[in-house]
Amino acid sequence: MKANIALVGFMGSGKTTIGRILAKSLDMKFIDIDRCISIREKKTIPEIFEEYGEKHFRDLERKIIEEESSDNNIVISTGGGAIVDNVNIKNLKTTSFVVFLDCDVNTIYERVKRSKTRPLLNNSDDILKTIEELYEKRKTLYKISSDFSIKIDLNTNIYDSVEKIKNAYILS
């Protein structure tokens, strides 16, 4: 069994919410990579994107994932785009049981359509189309990077999802 659990998936898939509950139920520490970045930079994610660009954000993300994933007994909630960086995937796969929260596009849209904290959607004229295009580009990476995947939609019971992930992790 690997020392950690890393949750991957598109923005709005529930990584932070499920991660907190999962960590508590397994008596593990919870780390939200986006929150770590915000704290370290003393800026919101949208501010970082606006001031320095996505490349700078991805560099910060890589550094923090490397640092945090080297610890043990933690549940890591990654950012939605963390899997586009091979170094992140390598670090997570080495140290963590990687779980893909496979959330359908319509659920993602419903969860994020009014959010102002999603820099990749903030300037979009058609949020649903942007989500569909980004998700399509990333879906294969999510799948091949994960050890386990779980379907998420608007009817998903969060506690059932936590139990399924917990059982898969324990049996891994």
> Tokens representing 134?
């980004």
Instruction: Convert the pLDDT of each residue in 119-171 to its tens digit.
Output: 667 777 889 899 999 999 999 999 999 999 999 999 999 999 999 999 999 99
pLDDT at 156: 94
The mean pLDDT value for 71-85 works out to 95
Query: What is the three-class DSSP state of 98?
Result: strand
CA distance 53 to 119: 10
pLDDT at 120: 66
CA distance 102 to 164: 13
Amino acid at residue number 54: E
